[in-house]
Amino acid sequence: MKNVAYRWNTFQLYDYRGVEDHLSAMAAQGWRLEKAGNTFWKYRRADPAPVRYAVTYNAGASQFNPGPTEGQESLEELCNAAGWTKACDWFQMQIFSTEDPAAVPLETDEVLRLQNIHRSMRKNFLPANLVLLLIGLWMSSSLVYSLVSGNILRLFSSNAHLFSGALFLLVVLLELYTLLHYYHWRKQSRRSIEEGGTCVPINTRAYQRLNRSGLVLVGIVSALYLLAELLGGGRGYALFFLAYILQFILLVFLVRRTTAALRKRKASKGVNMAVTLAVDFILAFALIGGLTFCAIRFGWFSGGSGETYTYQNVEFDVHPREDVPLTLSDLTGEPYEHVRRSCRREGSILLPEWSYWETALENGPEEDGWPGSLHLSYTVYIPRFQWFYDDVAEELLEDAVPRSSYGIGYAYVSEDPAPWGAEAVYRRWLDGSPINSWFLCFPDRITSLSMDWEPTAREKALIQSRLGSET
């Protein structure tokens, strides 16, 4: 039979009634609170008994203090004299218990109780929730802007943008609810006290249900993000996200252990806060920096840069990648000895975006004795739903024409799509002359193509067969 039980704590600091009722109910079932941690509360088995729990607040209490403050000790002394025993504390909340049904309540003045709760809330919970709200607003601002402005390209620019935006939007809603709930409770309680009543009760269960639902939703959105990355071939992004979450948990664990260790060593509050903050800062930089370094070094996002060598002052691949739908060799029919290829999978599950880029050294020397180089690059956009295909095409054309301040005139001019086997084709013009850059609109995808020469009819047909549909 287990003698220790843990429960996930979803109480709000100001919900003293909820905590009191919960702990009394647990005691009646034979479980006494032993430790109130940040995330989990620990209970120890005891004989079931009608134990009364009561909560009071001490705004001077802090998790960074080396031990109980003089104020906490004085409070405990007074409570002991009134028949109450300290169970434990949770931030500024001081939890006491008694088996004496006639013991005088801890709080006998509701005005003071409310003032005290607010002082305690201002110490930790309100600033922490406000910071989370601001972070959420900042992190979701791009998604909100995309939604409001109807910018499809930006909205679906990456799974991370789409899902992290949704995730932080959820955080914003949860934080807003938390803050508004507290201030509404406080206002109602003030009114009730002015009319001779007490602080108003909170519907603890409903509030906890909502809080848990919010967290479950956060979990669902995270899982959807992982799924979207895995389905879209973005294993590197999924790996990065998983590692990031694990690192975040590790960071929180290490920071809390630092605070606890310093408390044990009786470090002063100031020293504890400073060291904890420094450890938090350094670890966050080290862990996230290390992770980002690994991701870049091992090519989590680009699929690996591979081994390279330098020839004619240019870097080339020792083993050029083969998973490329269209290469310079495919187009010209010539094999090249020195090649550099790169591939990037971007976009989101709703608008995947695959970018390829290749440089090859021409086999024969040019007139000046040096071999020239050939370039090919293309990006394939695949709108998963037809209803936003036109918007994507329109935005791509708009974005591709830079608003130059140097008098250079870019434009996209429509040309005959038939040779390309496309539905529409737009060629880029620079200062009144066409250049070798096109937007090719195929039935289910849009391809942006740039190369060093104007393709022949055979090459256009090859481009259509390789880039115009799923191969």
Partner 1 sequence: MAREKFQTLTEPMFYILLTLREERCGTDIMTRVSALTHGRVGLGPGTLYNLLDSFQQAGMIRETSVSGRKRSYLITDKGRETLRAEYLRLLALTGDYKTCAGEEDLK
Determine the interface stretch with partner 1 among 107-115, 167-175, 288-296, 324-332 (rule: CB under 8 A). 107-115
Smallest gap from residue 103 Cβ to partner 1 (A): 10
What is the radius of gyration, based on Cα positions, of the chain? 32
- Give 82 or 137: the residue with its C-beta nearer to partner 1: 82
Q: Which of 36, 106, 422, 441 binds partner 1 (CB under 8 A)?
A: 106
Q: Which is nearer to partner 1, 59 or 275 (CB)?
A: 59
- DSSP 3-state assignment of 471? coil
**By the rule CB under 8 A, 79 interacts with partner 1:** yes
CA atoms of 43 and 26, how far apart (whole Å):
9
| Adjacent-strand bridge partners of 380 | 354, 447
276 vs 356: CA distance, rounded Å? 46
Smallest CA-to-CA distance from 455 within 425, 430, 431, 432 is with: 425
75 belongs to the binding site for partner 1 (CB under 8 A): yes
Do residues 429 and 435 lie in contact, with contact meaning Cβ atoms separated by under 8 Å?
yes
The answer to the question of residue 353 lying near partner 1 (CB under 8 A) is no
Q: Does the protein bind partner 1 through residue 82 (CB under 8 A)?
A: yes
Closest approach, Cβ 112 to partner 1, in A, equals 5
Single out the residue of 105, 365, 372, 443 in contact with partner 1 (rule: CB under 8 A). Answer: 105
Binding of partner 1 by 14 (CB under 8 A): no
**Is 104 an interacting residue with respect to partner 1 (CB under 8 A)?**
yes
Does the protein bind partner 1 through residue 81 (CB under 8 A)?
Answer: yes
Tell me: does residue 351 bind partner 1 (CB under 8 A). Answer: no
- Residue 193 binds partner 1, judged by CB under 8 A: yes
Structure tokens at 389: 């295909």
Instruction: Pick one of 71, 289, 290, 409: the residue that binds partner 1 (CB under 8 A).
Output: 71
Q: Which is nearer to partner 1, 59 or 227 (CB)?
A: 59
Kindly state the number of chain residues that form the binding site for partner 1, as judged by CB under 8 A: 30
Q: What is the DSSP string of 251-272?
A: HHHHHHHHHHHHHHTT--HHHH
Q: Does 116 bind partner 1 (CB under 8 A)?
A: yes
Angle at 172 between CA 171 and CA 175, to 5 degrees: 80
What's the min distance (Å) between Cβ of 74 and partner 1? 6
Question: Is 84 an interacting residue with respect to partner 1 (CB under 8 A)?
Answer: yes
Side chain identity at 50, as an amino acid letter? P
Query: Please, which residue, 81 or 408, has the CB nearer to partner 1?
Result: 81
Nearest CA-CA partner of 441 in 464, 413, 460: 464
Nearest-angstrom CA–CA distance, 198 and 190: 9
**Comparison of 78 and 231: residue with beta carbon closer to partner 1:** 78
Q: Is 197 in the site for partner 1 (CB under 8 A)?
A: no
CB of 196 or CB of 432, closer to partner 1: 196
Q: Nearer to partner 1 by C-beta: 96 or 156?
A: 96
Question: With contact defined as beta carbons under 8 Å apart, do 442 and 423 qualify?
Answer: yes
Which residue, 58 or 97, is less far from partner 1 as judged by CB?
58
CB of 182 to partner 1, least distance (A): 17
Measured torsion, CA atoms of residues 393, 410, 361, 316, in degrees rounded to the nearest 10: -60
Structure tokens at 59: 């705004």
Angle between helices 125-149 and 165-194 (to 10 degrees): 130
Do 272 and 262 meet the contact criterion of CB atoms below 8 Å apart? Answer: yes
The per-residue DSSP string of 370-386 comes to: SEEEEEEEEEEE--SSG
Q: What is the rounded distance in angstroms from the CA atom of residue 291 to the CA atom of residue 72?
A: 43
Strand order across the 371-381 sheet: 339-347, 352-365, 371-381, 445-451, 433-442, 424-430, 410-415
Residue of the chain from 4, 49, 78, 277 that contacts partner 1 (CB under 8 A): 78
Identify which of residues 60 and 371 has a Cβ nearer to partner 1 in the complex.
60
Site membership for partner 1, residue 118 (CB under 8 A): no
- Tell me if 20 contacts partner 1 by CB under 8 A: no
25-54 residues near partner 1, rule: CB under 8 A: 54
Question: Mask 51-70, x = binds partner 1 (CB under 8 A)?
Answer: ---x-xxx------------
* Phi, psi for residue 277 in degrees, rounded to 5: -65, -40
**Residue 13: exposed, middle, or buried by beta-carbon count in 10 A (0-12, 13-18, 19+)?**
buried
100 binds partner 1 (CB under 8 A): no
Binding site for partner 1 (CB under 8 A): 54, 56-58, 71, 73-79, 81-82, 84, 94, 104-109, 111-113, 115-116, 190, 193-194
